[in-house]
């Protein structure tokens, strides 16, 4: 007789093991492993087959293959269309993640309203709020339309029956963590539940050819609760970023089967909801006055240049010096500090250094290195930098300043925003009205300052 196959799964992170453990070796949580039933194991196998399936067949020359023709339609928001890669793809499954209160429901209710107005029949499922509460929000967002249907419901089977009996052409699920399926014994929001529900929604999206948007809350450690399993299953994953003190929200592509993950959508939160930021300019910096410790630079968010302010605070350390940054890589900061210490003889080892990027932006390109250095020097010497000058350049371990990509575009944006001077690593290829000071080494920047 064949031995019965057993499988245990962590309900916090999705880790699987053939043996039970008191503590999950993947996420270190206690008492999260539950044994999956034979049905669940079978379901798992089906799911993974469905996700990775391609019809069995013979290889064909690529010249004989017809390309997929993706006909997208607009969401009514230029910024969302941009992150999606040009609009909503029919039959696609999209996950929008973000921390509570960041604006997920606001954005999707607005989109639902836009599409309803365009004549689409839209279903907004909410397990989070009552229909009355959503109606209040819809009033505020001007999303009221008879084509927009609200369904306050947490039972997956009721949602599915509603979907199969009406001809909706767009569906929002708010949120994946509040829905539950009777077929699995685990709690709403657990890995098993989230997977079962996502799989059913995927089936709906693909078989009925309806785009489905799923909202998912992110836990403190940055993962979507009931996490990784979801990312693998859906076509597109978008994450909201932003800072609770600022009205700006960034929607960043993390995975996209139908487009690049390069672009970033930029929205503004106001009382009418989350709207496309008409102009990014001036939102991320204060041009009139720079305090000591502030420096300006221009980063590329996807295809768009954005001028931002980086801030540094350098203060004498009592005890072990602290290094901490928000929106900038901590290891990179440590490297820059070591470099300043070595090349410029600055005694930064006895100082605390804090870095902050304004507007909740997270910098993930090296071109801001020079601005970080300028901000650190400005704070250390307690001297303000000119409001007319931007810093641009990647700093290497040897103190050289390296070229940055899209220099022409960045200079153009500086000019549009009325800046006059830039400290840059190399001569620009095209002529520019910006007065450029070429600094190919960190020491030259100090000279300039
Ligand atoms: N009446 C209101 N006027 C302006 N802004 C509001 C109002 N009510 C809520 N908000 C804003 O909307 C945000 C909540 O957005 P929401 O879409 O519910 O977030 P999520 O769905 O991501 O948890 C709040 O943080 C608040 O800033
Ligand atoms: Mg919400
Ligand atoms: Zn775990």
- Quick one: which ligand is closest to 26's CA? 3
Contact 396, 323 (CB under 8 A): no
Better-predicted residue by pLDDT, 333 or 291: 333
pLDDT of amino acid 243: 72
CA 244 to ligand 1: nearest atom: 25
User: Strands 304-316 and 236-242: what pairing?
Assistant: unpaired
Show the ligand 1 pocket: residues with CB < 6 angstroms: 98, 100-106, 140, 269, 271
Average pLDDT over residues 138-143: 94
**Which DSSP string corresponds to 79-124?**
HHHHHHTSSBPTT-EEEEEE-TTSSHHHHHHHHHHHHHHTT--EEE
Residue 248 has pLDDT above 70, yes or no: yes
Residue 52 has pLDDT above 60, yes or no: no
pLDDT digits (tens, 9 = 90+) for 351-400: 999 999 987 788 988 999 999 999 999 999 999 998 889 999 999 999 89
* 111-115, 241-245, 322-326: range with lowest mean pLDDT: 241-245
Rounded to a whole number of angstroms, the distance between the first and last alpha carbons of the chain is 80
Better-predicted residue by pLDDT, 260 or 110: 110
Average pLDDT over residues 399-410: 91
Residue 50 has pLDDT above 80, yes or no: no
Q: How far apart are CA 276 and CA 269, in angstroms?
A: 9
pLDDT-based confidence at 112, cuts 50/70/90? very high
Q: How far apart are CA 97 and CA 225, in angstroms?
A: 10
**Which DSSP string corresponds to 11-61?**
TTT--EESS--SB-TTT--BS-EEEPPHHHHHHHHHHHHHHH---------
pLDDT of amino acid 402: 92
Alpha-carbon distance values, 296 to 97, 137, 324, 366 (Å): 30, 37, 19, 14
Average pLDDT over all residues of the chain: 88
- Quick one: which ligand is closest to 98's CA? 1
List alpha helices for 345-406, DSSP H: 369-381
Residue 169 has pLDDT above 60, yes or no: yes
* 70-74, 195-199, 365-369, 444-448: range with lowest mean pLDDT: 444-448
Residue 134 has pLDDT above 90, yes or no: yes
Sign of the Cα torsion 45, 50, 52, 58 reads positive
**Burial class of residue 27, CB neighbours in 10 A (0-12, 13-18, 19+):** middle
Sign of the Cα torsion 406, 255, 329, 265 reads positive
pLDDT-based confidence at 123, cuts 50/70/90? very high
> Out of 3.20.20.150, 3.40.50.720, 3.30.230.10, 2.60.40.420, which CATH number does the structure's domain 294-448 have?
3.30.230.10
pTM: 0.79
List alpha helices for 150-211, DSSP H: 156-165, 191-208
Average pLDDT over residues 227-251: 82
**Nearest by Cα to 88 from 231, 256, 249:** 256
Helices 156-165 & 191-208, crossing angle to 10 degrees? 0
Q: Where in the chain are the domains? A: 1-39, 78-276, 294-448
CA 140 to ligand 1: nearest atom: 1
Contact 40, 8 (CB under 8 A): no
Average pLDDT over residues 334-340: 94
Domains 78-276 and 294-448 agree in fold: no
The tokens describing 408, both together, are 């022409």
State which of 102, 175, 268 you would mutate to test the pocket of ligand 1, scoring each by most atoms of that ligand within 8 A of its C-beta: 102
Average pLDDT over residues 301-326: 91
CATH class, domain 78-276, is alpha beta
**Close Cβ partners of 205 (under 8 Å, ≥ 6 residues apart):** 91, 92, 93, 171, 211, 212
Closest protein CA for atom 16 of ligand 1 = 103
CA 103 to centroid of ligand 1, rounded, Å:
6
* Number of Cβ atoms within 10 Å of the Cβ of 353: 25
pLDDT-based confidence at 64, cuts 50/70/90? confident
Closest protein CA for atom 6 of ligand 1 = 271
Average pLDDT over residues 120-142: 95
Better-predicted residue by pLDDT, 242 or 266: 266
Residue 140 has pLDDT above 90, yes or no: yes
Residue 46 has pLDDT above 90, yes or no: no
Closest protein CA for atom 2 of ligand 1 = 271
């Amino acid at each position: 007789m064949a031995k019965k196959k057993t499988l245990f799964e962590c309900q916090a992170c999705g880790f699987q093991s053939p043996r039970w453990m008191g503590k999950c070796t993947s996420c270190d949580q206690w008492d999260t492993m539950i044994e999956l039933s034979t049905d669940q194991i079978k379901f798992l196998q089906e799911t993974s087959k469905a996700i990775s399936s391609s019809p069995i067949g013979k290889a064909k020359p690529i010249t004989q293959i017809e390309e997929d023709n993706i006909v997208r339609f607009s969401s009514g928001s230029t910024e969302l269309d941009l992150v999606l890669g040009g609009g909503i793809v029919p039959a696609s499954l999209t996950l929008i993640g973000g921390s509570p209160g960041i604006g997920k429901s606001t954005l999707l209710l607005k989109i639902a309203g836009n599409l309803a107005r365009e004549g689409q029949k839209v279903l907004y499922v909410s397990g989070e709020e009552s229909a009355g509460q959503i109606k209040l929000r819809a009033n505020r967002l001007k999303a009221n339309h008879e084509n927009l249907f609200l369904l306050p419901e947490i039972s997956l089977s009721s949602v599915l029956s509603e979907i199969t009996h009406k001809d909706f052409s767009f569906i929002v699920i708010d949120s994946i963590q509040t829905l539950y399926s009777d077929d699995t014994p685990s709690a709403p929001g657990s890995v098993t539940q989230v997977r079962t529900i996502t799989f059913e929604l995927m089936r709906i999206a693909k078989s009925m050819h309806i785009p489905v948007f799923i909202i998912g809350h992110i836990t403190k450690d940055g993962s979507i609760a009931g996490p990784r399993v979801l990312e693998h299953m859906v076509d597109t994953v978008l994450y909201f970023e932003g800072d609770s003190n600022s009205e700006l929200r960034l929607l960043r592509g993390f995975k996209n089967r139908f487009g690049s993950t390069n672009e970033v959508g930029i929205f503004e939160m106001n009382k009418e909801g989350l709207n496309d930021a008409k102009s990014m300019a001036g939102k991320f910096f204060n041009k009139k006055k720079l305090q000591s410790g502030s420096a300006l630079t221009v980063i590329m968010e996807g295809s768009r240049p954005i001028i931002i302010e980086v801030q540094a605070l350098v203060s004498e350390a009592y005890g072990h010096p602290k290094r901490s940054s928000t929106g900038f890589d901590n290891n990179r900061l440590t490297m820059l500090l070591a470099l300043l210490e070595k090349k410029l003889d600055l005694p930064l080892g006895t100082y605390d250094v804090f870095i902050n990027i304004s507007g909740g932006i997270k910098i993930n390109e090296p071109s801001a290195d020079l601005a970080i250095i300028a901000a650190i020097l400005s704070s250390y010497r307690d001297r303000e930098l000119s409001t007319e000058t931007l810093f641009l350049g990647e700093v290497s371990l040897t103190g050289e300043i390296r070229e940055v990509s899209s220099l022409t575009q960045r200079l153009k944006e500086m000019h549009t925003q009325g800046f006059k001077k830039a400290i840059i690593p190399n001569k620009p290829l095209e002529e520019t009205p910006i007065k450029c000071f070429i600094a190919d080494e960190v020491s030259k920047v100090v000279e300039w300052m």
